[in-house]
Amino acid sequence: MPRTKEFGEKLREATRDKIINAAVALFAENGLAGTSVSQIAKQAGISVGLMYHYYKTKEEIFAQLVEFAKKEVLEFAEALNNEQSPKKTILDIADEMVKEWQSGLEFSQWIILSNNLTDDELSYHGTEFVSSLENLIKKGQKQGDFKAGDYKKMALFFLAMLEGVASLQLSMKGEFTPPTVEMITAFLM
């Protein structure tokens, strides 16, 4: 049976996704320097030759991950700037995080990887995200939905909690139990 063009494209996309997912896991665990092309190919379940068909170097994969991370940070910042109440926004975000942690390691791998990227543009977007989170907390405090306190420190605490939970999940693997929405938001409400 001949392959259709759509089938070929879906196969290429699936292979690219395998490579990206393997790279995220390995870069989060070992960093760029501690990860080899052969490790990525092995984790993806493909040959090194096939991987080179998609990416010439591990740095090329890493650069694509930086672009993905920039997009995700911007989307997260946009999610904080909406018409909902700050309380509903933070509860929705916390609920989504719990679901991500329950579904597997990928969310935590992305958090750890994103926090270790040093791209200037990503740092700018990260600063924009922190500012959006600070503004959300400040707005929630003014509306009486959030506890009083230094909204800047509270935003940093939220981010530190995110990274801490992600690190725990990656180190504990099968023994990890994600926090609840109430635990994630207790410092705010």
- What's the predicted TM-score (pTM) here? 0.79
| pLDDT at 189 (0 to 100) | 92
Class of domain 65-189: mainly alpha
The answer on pLDDT for 109 being more than 60 is: yes
What is the topology classification, in CATH, of domain 1-56? Arc Repressor Mutant, subunit A (1.10.10)
Please enumerate in sequence order all residues whose Cβ is within 8 A of that of 137, keeping only pairs 6 or more positions apart, or say none.
86, 146, 151, 154, 155, 158, 188
Classify 11 in phi/psi space as left (phi over 0), alpha (psi -120 to 50) or beta: alpha
Closest of 105, 24, 15, 12 to residue 62, by C-alpha: 24
Task: Judge contact between 38 and 48, C-beta under 8 A.
Answer: yes
65-88 tens-digit pLDDT: 888 887 887 788 788 888 899 999
Residue 120, classified by CB atoms within 10 Å of its CB into exposed (0-12), middle (13-18) or buried (19+), is exposed
Where are the chain's structural domains? 1-56, 65-189
127-142 tens-digit pLDDT: 778 888 999 999 999 9
Closest of 159, 34, 28, 166 to residue 98, by C-alpha: 166
